[in-house]
Chain A
């Protein structure tokens, strides 16, 4: 028992222990570096490797696109390497000179304002439909899906009776065609896609069968073959005098293709609607179309907006394939311009592709940002 006396407590320290060193900084810039980049040997190796990769990619890219680039000039001479300038970057002078061609194709110069007007009409429609704060969206939808297409047809094709000379679609080109093709795809694919999606979920076996066959058939084959089919088989299937022009054939192909994909997107939205909504609508005595139009579709389409926009991004990228059936879309005009002898330099091709890449990237990135924001907005309202 003696060990319990104060004199026997040899296991109790007589002096305070020296304080431990403070923990490593985990906040602030240094802390971030330590936790995010240099937390262990493997991490340090990874950091060094990716740092090297960034150094390998970014400075040459910036040099090519900005610092060594040629910004003005009349022809290829401006973009050739000279003794006093051994390294030449992107030839932006070429893009500047051919910009009109990239946007309008061969559209008559005096009539180009009509294309600009079409772009303005389209922008109004898009903002009206997609802006989160927009009012009277039903009216916007009528404008976008009915009024605008008619106005666009009149504007772009011309109507001599009201003083707009006719412009044949063979003269269309560049961004105009890209926008028209994706616009037609968007305008037609949503309604057809909704009908197909409803058909696929229908209780009528034949309606369901035809919808499934169409959707699975189109989704099972590449767009290239659909476009080939539209361009070589469509003229066979109609009486000779109705033979559609080249652009129209491609438009039909794109619209059918986009509809099948849209149908699946819409179907996913329809499946997300709880059964109670259908039963509730039937219980208050709504007919099938009123139930769909007033209760189910508004909810289903709302939750699928991000997916719809995502499939529009895919559609916008896929419009480049009309190139293959010989239509002068944006990419095709760049392909045509880059081999123009007037601007033939070693950097012309790369400049053309860089320009196309920047344009496509900006368009697609903005759309995907919108889809993501919308998704975030939707999940917060649901989470509440």
Chain B
């Protein structure tokens, strides 16, 4: 070996060259995956042909011919499969959206209660979290649906709730608010209030940067966004009427009907997810060291200000990422609706539509694509938020 070759790379046989090796491994991996995908597609084509199942997305425009018990948009038995898909998707989003709101409220209350100095309160919250987290969600859904809501009285002995609502084993029947003449001024005021609140925020921020004076942003926002429409509502003579449900011999007419399936799913999902959110909140608050609170007190901040301006902003940085995860879990778990018959995306599309058309590949692919899209969009928003609130370090 001469010293001349020291600057050049030593000659290695390709067998021992890491670059060669990794290239070979990757080519092999690709070959295996391509082979698997190819044989799966080939088998699927043959099997589908044998079973005489059409492929492609033509079924989207064909008449569905089945009824759905809860529809947020116009739908009837003559609507298309595509329409049924939108109905299912909206039902999923409805239960997930409401579930997220309720679970967040319960979760924050329970999470803070777990940190309470009051022994009874903290143990009660701890017991809630322990019990709910250790029981399968499906069991809880079945319990709410079969043992609680389906065990309610029959239609003829409906429970009459205050305000003209009925509760029986067919669901909850609420009065339906109907906008009267002159109601349109209320949403108008809401929009004006919202714009005003945003302008006020900008103005207050600029003034604070200039002079250091703080403006009551929270109060002003509240007054403008809630107070203004409310005042308009009251001043224009309460322009709203209620369509009360009326009990007949065999069914209830009018009003808003809330299915027991929907209620069971909403209860189950919110109560289950709330237990996980409570743990997230607790961990987030514990992550802010006590020194921060003490430092805030020693600067002369009041307890409320300390909480709002020092503890919560720092806790949120820890809380938000796992919280979003829980929101995603809730959305994905709403697919358990299929077990109790709530017409969500999976029940309608991967259930009924799949059985009627037999086009498993297309239907499952669309269903999964919807959930994937929701997940990916949420993670993108999450990353954006994380980047915004991340600690700025040198």
Contact = CB atoms under 8 A, between A and B. Distances in A.
Contact of B372 (A221, A224, A350): A221
A222 B332 contact: yes
Contacts of B48: 236
A291 interface: no
A225 B116 CA distance: 40
Contact of A43 (B44, B117, B346, B354): B117
Contacts of B138: 320-321, 323, 331
Contacts of B248: none
Contact of B43 (A46, A236, A321): A236
Interface stretch (B7-15, B25-33, B215-223): B25-33
Contact of B124 (A50, A206, A321): A50
A203 B134 contact: no
Interface in A177-234: 203-207, 210, 217, 219-225, 228-229, 232-233
Interface residues of B, number: 52
B118 A217 contact: no
Interface in B321-355: 332-333, 335-336, 338-339, 346, 350, 354
A222 B360 CA distance: 17
B176 to A, nearest CB: 32
Interface in A124-165: none
A78 interface: no
Contacts of B151: 346, 349
Interface string A345-371: 010011001001100110011001000
A289 interface: no
B142 A353 contact: yes
A9 interface: no
Contacts of B72: none
11 contacts: A204-B22, A220-B375, A225-B371, A236-B47, A240-B47, A313-B134, A320-B137, A323-B339, A357-B139, A361-B131, A361-B134
Interface of B: 22, 25-26, 29-30, 33, 40, 43-44, 46-48, 50, 116-121, 124, 130-131, 133-139, 142-143, 146-147, 151, 332-333, 335-336, 338-339, 346, 350, 354, 360-361, 364, 367-368, 371-372, 375-376
A108 B151 CA distance: 35
A219 B374 CA distance: 12
Contacts of B376: 220
A233 B361 contact: yes
Contacts of A239: 43
Contacts of A232: 354, 360, 364
A240 B118 contact: no
A23 B374 CA distance: 59
Interface string A24-51: 0000000010011101000100110011
Given A320-B139, A353-B147, 6 more contacts: A36-B119, A221-B368, A222-B333, A317-B137, A353-B146, A364-B135
Nearest to A240: B47
A225 B368 contact: yes
Given A233-B360, A233-B364, A361-B131, A221 B332 contact: yes
A335 interface: yes
Contact of B29 (A210, A238, A361): A210
A235 interface: yes
Contacts of A3: none
A171 to B, nearest CB: 23
A217 B372 contact: yes
Nearest to B337: A224
A37 B120 contact: yes
Most buried by A among B25, B151, B338: B338
Contacts of B333: 222
A109 interface: no
A224 B33 contact: no
Contacts of A353: 139, 142-143, 146-147
A27 to B, nearest CB: 15
A36 B120 CA distance: 8
B372 A207 contact: no
Contacts of A238: 40, 43
Interface residues on A, range: 35 or more
A331 B137 CA distance: 11
A364 B22 contact: no
Nearest to A338: B146
Q: Label chain B's interface by main secondary structure.
A: helix
A225 B44 contact: no
A36 B147 contact: no
A361 B135 contact: yes
Interface of A: 32, 35-37, 39, 43, 46-47, 50-51, 53-54, 203-207, 210, 217, 219-225, 228-229, 232-233, 235-240, 313, 317-318, 320-321, 323-324, 331, 335, 338, 346, 349-350, 353, 356-357, 360-361, 364-365, 368
A221 B371 contact: yes
Nearest to B360: A232
A235 to B, nearest CB: 7
Contact of B139 (A43, A233, A331, A368): A331
A320 B367 contact: no
Contacts of B134: 313, 360-361, 364-365, 368
Contacts of A349: 146-147, 151
Contacts of A35: 117
B107 to A, nearest CB: 18
Contact of A360 (B30, B136, B350, B361): B136
B361 A236 contact: yes
B139 A207 contact: no
Given A222-B333, A224-B335, A360-B134, A240 B50 contact: yes
Contacts of B135: 317, 357, 360-361, 364
A90 B26 CA distance: 61
Contacts of A335: 142
Most chain A CB within a 10 A radius of its CB, from B133, B138, B371? B138
Contacts of B22: 203-204
Contacts of B43: 236-239
B25 A204 contact: yes
B121 A321 contact: no
B25 A324 contact: no
Contact of B117 (A39, A220, A237): A39
A273 to B, nearest CB: 21
Given A54-B124, A228-B350, A204 B26 contact: yes
Query: A36, A219, A335 — which one has the most chain B CB atoms within 10 A of its CB?
Result: A36
B364 A222 contact: no
A365 B368 CA distance: 32
B103 to A, nearest CB: 17
